[in-house]
Structure formats: C-alpha cells, structure tokens
Amino acid sequence: MSGDLGLFGPDSVTWRLHSEPILMLGGLRSLYLQALHPKAVAGVTQNSGYRNDPWGRLTRTSAYVGTVIYGTTEEAERAASRVRRRHSRMTAVDPRTGERFRIDEPELLRWVHVAEVESFLTTATRAGVRLSPAEVDRYYSEQLKAAELMGVDPATVPATAAEVSAYYEEMQSRLSLTRDGIETAMFLTVPPVPQSWGSRAFRLGLTLGPTRWAYFGIAATAVAMLPPWARRMYGGLGWPTTDLTADLSARGLRLLLSSVLATIPRSLRVAPMREAALARAAAARA
C-alpha cells in the first residue's frame, strides 16, 4: 500500500530516534549486553555464521531493523515472518546444563528485544538526544509492536523506563559471563577485516592502522555505556566517572557523525527504506 506508513509513522518517537546515526553505537552496546545471557549467546554461537561473515550478518540485521522501523506494515510483517520461520528450526545446547533448547523461547526473545531497544534509547539520550520522560516511555510502548512481530506476547514486555529497570533487576541473577560470552565480546571488540576488502597490504593497514584504533575506541565507549552491573560482569568498574567519560565520548561521536554526514550527498547518507518511508509520509500529508 503506497499510503501505508508502517508500524510507527512520522509522528512517532521511533522515527525521530532512529534518524540518529549514533544508534550504531547503541546497536553495538546491545550486543555486549545480549552476550551476558548464557542461553542467548549460546544460541547465536551455535547457529550463526557471524564469525565467518560478521559484516554480512550486521548488514542483514540492520536491514531487518530498518524494515521494521520504516517499511510498510506488509514489509515489516513479511521480514519478521522469515526470521521467525528460520528461528523455529534452530536449537542450541545450554553450556552450563547440557539442556537443548529452542532459540525462539519467549524469555530469550524478550531479552534480546529489551537489550536492543534500551540500548538504542539509552545511547541516544546519553549522546545528547533530548527526550522527555513521557517520550522515553512512549518509545518503549511503541516498540511493543516490534516485540510482537518476533512472536513475543507484548503483555510480557517492559513498556516503560521503570518497567525496564525492574526487568533488568530481575534478570541479573540469570546472567553470567560464559566462554561464549567472552569470545563474542572479544570478537565484537576486535572484528576481522574481510578478505574481500582489497589487497593484503590494505587489509593489514586496516588491522593495525588508525581505522582499527578508531573502531576500538567506539567499542570501548559501547562497553563503558553498559549499566554498572553489566560492566562488573565483564570485569570492569561500575564507577560513576566511567559513565561520565562514556557520555562525553558518545556526545563527541554524535557531533562528529553529524559533521561528516553533512558533507555526504543525501542519496548516500539516507537509507533507501527510510527515504521511501519519508516519501510516503509526505504524500499522505499532501
């Protein structure tokens, strides 16, 4: 439907928030957070080829999120249906108990959802995006639609900042840093340079040069932006000064991204899915 504005639309907090490039940092933060759930990270490790094709997996995940946020209702539902079908065939073994489980268990899907949307929201606001408490809660409630698409009963998903805080408090006793979690975190911090990216000398330059150190700084900021209890699980410190330093880094990165993107043609800095959504919204208001 040409006039279908999708699950959220131009008046939603979701559209406003997801127009921010700094959400890439939030996505990375969410992966570090998700890796603290032993079964969730085992499910990814045992079923995903992310180690062989990390950038491809990142591209596919970004495309899915973009479709849910900006696609038509039909596009979002079709994309979610494909993911649900794929997940329904996958199982994994809990490394702590030896128990085999389905990776689409509601608890695991709920954890991934909450870690993702909370990371997007927290990263954006700490980087300087201004949202009122009511708008924060509205974002969480809007994202119940995304949770439902993945097969989670929205009545079981935290829908306000207070409910998310309580959920994290409840979940902490179920979280721990397993070997899978450690290896995933290390992989996120030092990802490989794809073989397809130019010559061996060029790839070596990316591995050892300033680009690598720049990425390492972004990864360090993502870890520093984790909740204090999550940082402690990774062996870090939960000091308030870490939060302050992370906030300053995120604000600086947001300003840098804005400056750089301002020099790039719109066709290269605005995703086609978002451009199409904006066109539909403009047509609906005409």
7-50 pLDDT, tens per residue? 999 999 999 999 999 999 999 999 999 999 999 999 999 997 66
The answer to whether residue 217 scores a pLDDT higher than 90 is no
- Stretch 231-256: mean pLDDT: 88
Residue type, 239: W
Mean pLDDT, the chain, rounded, equals 89
215 confidence band (pLDDT: 50, 70, 90): confident
Range with lowest mean pLDDT among 58-67, 113-122, 146-155: 58-67
pLDDT at residue 50 in the model: 66
User: Burial of 4 by CB count in 10 Å (0-12 exposed, 13-18 middle, 19+ buried)?
Assistant: middle
The pLDDT of residue 204 is: 45
Nearest residue to 234 via CA among 24, 13, 36: 36
**pLDDT band for position 208 (50/70/90)?**
very low
Percent of the chain with pLDDT over 70: 87
Centroid of chain to Cα 87: 18
Full-model pTM? 0.90
Q: Which of 78-82, 151-155, 200-204 has the lowest mean pLDDT?
A: 200-204
Q: What is the CA 207 to chain-centroid distance, rounded? A: 24
pLDDT at 200 over 70: no
| Cβ(57)–Cβ(50) below 8 Å | yes
Q: Do 233 and 175 touch, CB atoms closer than 8 A?
A: yes
Which of 25-29, 32-36, 56-60, 202-206 is the least confident region? 202-206
